[in-house]
Structure 1
């Protein structure tokens, strides 16, 4: 991911949190825990992943608006940004 160090740190922290939560969900299922508890924890994983994705898209948008280029050396188009947002919707 191309971005500033602060954005990368935020995204990585969110992904690590989601990783831990997902391991917890797997463990809960293996232990036969209550469905409500499993679904609640799974929803938390989903939110953590969504937040990480939105942070990545927001960083890309900021780079596009400030004139930074994408990986292929060309500015990101409005259509590319729209596609990124819709991917998370």
Structure 2
């Protein structure tokens, strides 16, 4: 699970924004727009996806800490490291 309702909503909003931005990048390429403009928008898409990923990892860390307090299986350091490195 990604987290609570608020976290899920934030992640979905970020992903929807990135989806729209990516559609815009595709349209820009199809229209033959300037390379600089395309790359600038593509970088914005990348940042939006990164932010969604970081939000998911942050929510996972919260769940890990809360779960450990509730007696649930906490994530290992190796598992957390892999999550972070997947976004690097």
- TM-score, scaled relative to structure 1: 0.90
* Alignment of 1:23 onto 2:23: yes
- Alignment map for 1:19-58 (pairs within 5 Å): 19-58=19-58
Pairwise CA distance, 1:66: 1.3
Q: Which has the higher helix share?
A: 2
Q: Over residues 41-87 of structure 1, what are the superposed CA-to-partner deviations in whole Å (9 max), with x where a residue is unaligned?
A: 0000000000000000000011111126xxxx732111101110011
Shift of 1:16: 0.2
The count of residues paired between Structure 1 and Structure 2 equals: 85
Q: How far apart in 1 are the matches of 2:23 and 2:2?
A: 28
Gaps of 5+ in 2: none
2:87 is aligned to 88
**In 1, Cα distance between the equivalents of 2:57 and 2:82?**
10
| TM value normalised by structure 2 | 0.91
1:74 and 1:29 map into 2 onto residues whose CA distance is 47
